[in-house]
Amino acid sequence: MKSALALLAAPLVAALPSDMGKASALKQRQAPVSIHEAFVGAGKEFFGAATDQGLLQREPNAAIIRANFGQVTHENSMKWGSLEANRGSYNWGPADEVVDWAVANGQLVRGHTLIWHSQLPQWVEGITDAEELREVIRNHVSTTVGRYAGRIHHWDVVNEILAEDGSLRDSVFSRVLGEEFVKIAFEVARETDPSAVLYINDYNLDQANYGKVNGMVSLVQKWVNEGVPIDGIAALEQLASAPVGEVAITELDIAQAPVEDYTAVVQACLNVEKCTAITVWGVGDADSWRRGEDPLLFDNNFNPKPAYDAIIDLLS
C-alpha cells in the first residue's frame, strides 16, 4: 500500500518545474492525499490538527493544514490564562488570528478550552467566595463563546476535570463549587451559542472499565439526566454508551508515531458510529510539546510520516 502512495506522490512532484523555488518546495512537503478528505470520505466529520498563531505564521504549517487537515484547535491561545491573565483585561489577538485564518481557509475550529485547572490566571485560582466564582465563570464563558458565536462549532467546555479514579479533580472550581461549576459552564455556553456542540474533554480515556472512564460515563449520565446540556465526550466505545450524541479523539499524539497504534486509533473511531472526528496535537514533530518523542504525523522537516501514509491506506 505504501508503494501505491509513492505512485500517487510521484506525478505531483514531477509536474513541478524545478525552478519554482520556495512554493514548490512547500508543495512537495505536503502530503499528496488529504487525511481530512479521506476521513470525511469514510463518513466522519473532520480530521484536524492543533496549531496556534505563531505556528501558522511559520510555513509550511499553514500550507499543510490547508492542504491536509480540515479543523484546527488552538494549542494555547484560547486558554483562560492566555485570554485574561489580568482580570478584565483581554488579550484576544492570538486567538482571533487563528479563528480568522480558519474561517478564511475553510477549517472548522474547536474551542479549547473554557474551564480548566491548568493555564488558569492566578486571580481565578485565588477566588474563595462561591458567588464570586459563579459570576466569574458565567462572565468568562459568555464573553468567550459570545465572541466566536457561529465561528466555533465545538467547545471543550470543561477540560480534564476528573481524577484517575473517576472522581472530580481537586481545583479551585471543585473546591469552591463542587460539581455545580459543570452545570453553570455548560448552561451558559448553550445559552450563548445554541448552535455550538458542547464537549467534556479528558485524557486517559482509552481503556475500558478503567476508573476514570467509569466515572466519566456515570457522571455524564447523571448530569445529562439533570438537564446539563452536554453533547459530546472525547473517546470511545464505553464513553459512547453515555447519553451524548457524539464522541471524538481531540488531542492525539503517540510517542514515536507507530504505524500500528495510529491506525488502531483511526480504526477505533471508524468502528464507533458516534465517533465523529480526530484532531492530532500539532502538525510537525519539531513543534510538538512532547519534545524528542516524535509523536506527530509529519516529521521535523514537515514530510508526512509512515503513520500518515498508513492512515490514508486504511481509509482508501
Binding site for ligand G3I (CB under 6 A): 75-76, 118-119, 203, 251, 281, 289
| 251 tagged catalytic | yes
Instruction: Tell me the closest approach of the beta carbon of residue 161 to ligand G3I, in angstroms.
Output: 12
Round the CA-based radius of gyration of the chain to a whole number and report it: 20
Instruction: Decide whether 118 or 300 has the Cβ nearer to ligand G3I.
Output: 118
Instruction: Tell me the closest approach of the beta carbon of residue 75 to ligand G3I, in angstroms.
Output: 5
Instruction: Decide whether 118 or 207 has the Cβ nearer to ligand G3I.
Output: 118
Strand stretches in the chain, DSSP E: 46-51, 71-74, 108-116, 154-159, 197-201, 232-233, 246-252, 275-280
Strand stretches in 101-226, DSSP E: 108-116, 154-159, 197-201
Task: Tell me which of 251, 260, 273, 293 is the catalytic residue.
Answer: 251
CB 125 within 8 A of CB 85: no
Instruction: Decide whether 34 or 171 has the Cβ nearer to ligand G3I.
Output: 171
CB 282 within 8 A of CB 290: no
CB 50 within 8 A of CB 251: yes
| 75 tagged catalytic | no
Q: Which residue is nearest to ligand G3I (CB)?
A: 289
Instruction: Tell me the closest approach of the beta carbon of residue 67 to ligand G3I, in angstroms.
Output: 23
Closest to 153 in 3D by CA, of 143, 145, 165: 145
Instruction: Tell me the closest approach of the beta carbon of residue 113 to ligand G3I, in angstroms.
Output: 7
71-74 and 46-51 as β-strands: parallel, antiparallel, unpaired?
parallel
Instruction: Count CB-CB contacts under 10 A for residue 204.
Output: 13
Instruction: Decide whether 5 or 262 has the Cβ nearer to ligand G3I.
Output: 262
Task: Tell me which of 45, 75, 84, 160 is the catalytic residue.
Answer: 160
Write the CB contacts of 266 (distance below 8 Å, at least 6 apart in sequence).
Answer: 39, 278, 311, 314, 315
Instruction: Tell me the closest approach of the beta carbon of residue 288 to ligand G3I, in angstroms.
Output: 8
Instruction: Decide whether 236 or 314 has the Cβ nearer to ligand G3I.
Output: 236
CB 162 within 8 A of CB 173: no
Residues identified as active-site: 160, 251
